[in-house]
């Protein structure tokens, strides 16, 4: 039980934070210890305890530890691929379509002939239907032509039908790279995460004015060995990366997404921007001088005009490197790498 006012508060943390490598890790600010992680001996399980200084707050440090301890798994579990098979994803439907509806969709909507389909299996564990075709090309063409282009209506609501090859490959979409990053450079980067099979660039469809021209989004078919972060940097350009089954990661700290918990990295950056904004406003408000005027004064000062020296326009271009105070005022931002 947590008792306010004690010398330290203790909370038990289960295996959610069992990835903390440095047992006995301490964190603090201003020479004062705020928290430390110590092992729980004799429990027979991989547990830790966290001791927290009362003035900091147990809930705040607990949220911080949970957020920073969640990392992407080092490797991915691989399943043996099926031969010449594509998968109909049924997880998007609130109610699974009947067997008759699945057969009708594959035969009537997708247009696959009886001799082209060798096996149609319903998978209750994966909530999907596996369709084995006579050749690999038949399966690939079916996915290319029909993925996301048809709908099934259930309870007067239409849902798009998603297809994908059941060969353990995934389509990785890279959204934001410029044409300055060549395909070879992107492939070289992605090979750190698995095997790259092919790459293509999407074009705008027929519903848009500039149909047929490049959209800038590159699609890379890969066999992943480990997950890719949601935001990566390729050749000094930052980009969003998405694919099915991807664990979402935070844009700022690159750890698993932590909704509802403020990212410490982003909070520190926002604090620096806020501090700079306050300094800009202060410089602008001096003698009712605008930012543009201050810039001109800064330029004329180099020409020998010092009559506006009291404005000190150089402050406009100075970034503060001092820590930003939070509540209570005597506690400042700190960060501990786990």
The tens digit of pLDDT for each residue in 45-76 reads 445 555 555 555 555 555 555 555 556 666 66
* pLDDT score of 29: 42
Q: Is residue 25 part of a domain?
A: yes
**Bigger pLDDT: 287 vs 120:** 120
Q: Check whether the bond before 328 is cis (ω within 30° of 0).
A: yes
* pLDDT score of 255: 80
Q: Is residue 97 part of a domain?
A: yes
Q: Does the structure show a pLDDT above 60 at 283? A: no
- Using CA atoms, how far apart are residues 143 and 155, in angstroms rounded to an integer? 26
- In this structure, are 91 and 145 located in the same domain? yes
- In this structure, are 141 and 90 located in the same domain? yes
pLDDT band at 324 (very low <50, low <70, confident <90, very high): very low
Q: Is residue 105 part of a domain?
A: yes
Q: Does the structure show a pLDDT above 80 at 296? A: no
Read off the tokens for 311.
């404005």
Q: How far is CA 3 from CA 6, 11, 50, in A?
A: 6, 11, 14
User: Which helix or strand (DSSP H or E) is residue 119 part of?
Assistant: strand 117-123
Q: Which CATH number do you get for residue 108?
A: 3.30.70.330
Q: Last residue of a domain, which of 124, 140, 165?
A: 165
- Using CA atoms, how far apart are residues 31 and 337, in angstroms rounded to an integer? 17
Strands 194-203 and 231-234: unpaired
- Using CA atoms, how far apart are residues 79 and 255, in angstroms rounded to an integer? 26
**pLDDT single digits (tens) 72-99:** 666 666 667 788 999 999 988 888 888 9
Q: Last residue of a domain, which of 190, 224, 243?
A: 243
- In this structure, are 142 and 183 located in the same domain? no
Averaged pLDDT score across all residues of the chain:
71
- Using CA atoms, how far apart are residues 112 and 106, in angstroms rounded to an integer? 6
- In this structure, are 161 and 175 located in the same domain? no
| For helices 264-285 and 291-302, angle between their N-to-C axes, nearest 10 degrees | 70
Count of structural domains within the chain: 3
pLDDT band at 251 (very low <50, low <70, confident <90, very high): confident
For residue 229, the number of C-alpha atoms closer than 13 Å in the C-beta half-sphere is 19
**Bigger pLDDT: 253 vs 160:** 160
Its domain, for residue 173, covers: 169-243
Q: Is residue 308 part of a domain?
A: no
Q: Is residue 331 part of a domain?
A: no
Q: Does the structure show a pLDDT above 70 at 12? A: no
- In this structure, are 90 and 161 located in the same domain? yes
- In this structure, are 146 and 202 located in the same domain? no
Q: Does the structure show a pLDDT above 90 at 230? A: yes
Residue with tokens 């890379």: 220
Q: Last residue of a domain, which of 243, 262, 293?
A: 243
């Amino acid at each position: 039980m947590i008792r306010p006012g004690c010398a330290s508060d203790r909370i038990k943390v289960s295996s959610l934070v069992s990835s903390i490598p440095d047992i006995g890790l301490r964190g603090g600010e201003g020479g004062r210890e705020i928290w430390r992680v110590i092992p729980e001996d004799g429990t027979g399980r991989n547990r830790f305890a966290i001791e927290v200084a009362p003035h900091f707050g147990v809930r705040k440090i607990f949220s911080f530890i949970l957020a920073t301890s969640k990392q992407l798994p080092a490797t991915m579990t691989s399943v043996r691929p099926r031969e010449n098979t594509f998968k109909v994803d049924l997880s998007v439907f609130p109610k699974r379509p009947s067997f008759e509806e699945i057969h009708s969709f594959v035969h009537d909507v997708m247009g696959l002939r009886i001799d082209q389909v060798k096996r149609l299996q319903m998978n209750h564990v994966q909530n999907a239907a596996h369709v084995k075709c006579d050749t690999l090309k038949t399966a690939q063409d079916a996915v290319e032509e029909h993925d996301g282009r048809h709908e099934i209506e259930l309870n007067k609501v239409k849902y798009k039908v998603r297809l994908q090859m059941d060969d353990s490959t995934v389509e990785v979409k890279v959204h934001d790279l410029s044409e300055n990053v060549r395909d070879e450079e992107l492939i070289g980067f992605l090979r750190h995460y698995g095997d790259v099979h092919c790459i293509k660039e999407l074009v705008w469809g027929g519903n848009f004015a500039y149909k047929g021209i490049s959209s800038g989004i590159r699609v890379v078919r890969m066999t992943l060995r480990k997950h890719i972060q949601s935001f990566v940097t390729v050749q000094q350009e930052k980009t969003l990366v998405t694919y099915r089954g991807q664990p979402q990661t935070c844009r700022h700290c690159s750890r698993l997404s932590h909704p509802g918990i403020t990212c410490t990295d982003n909070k520190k950056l926002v604090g620096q921007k806020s501090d700079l904004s306050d300094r800009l406003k202060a410089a602008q408000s001096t003698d009712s001088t605008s930012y543009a005027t201050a810039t001109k004064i800064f330029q004329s000062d180099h020409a020998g005009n010092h009559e506006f020296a009291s404005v000190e326009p150089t402050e406009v271009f100075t970034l503060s490197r001092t820590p930003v105070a939070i509540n209570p005022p005597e506690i400042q931002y700190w960060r501990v790498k786990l």
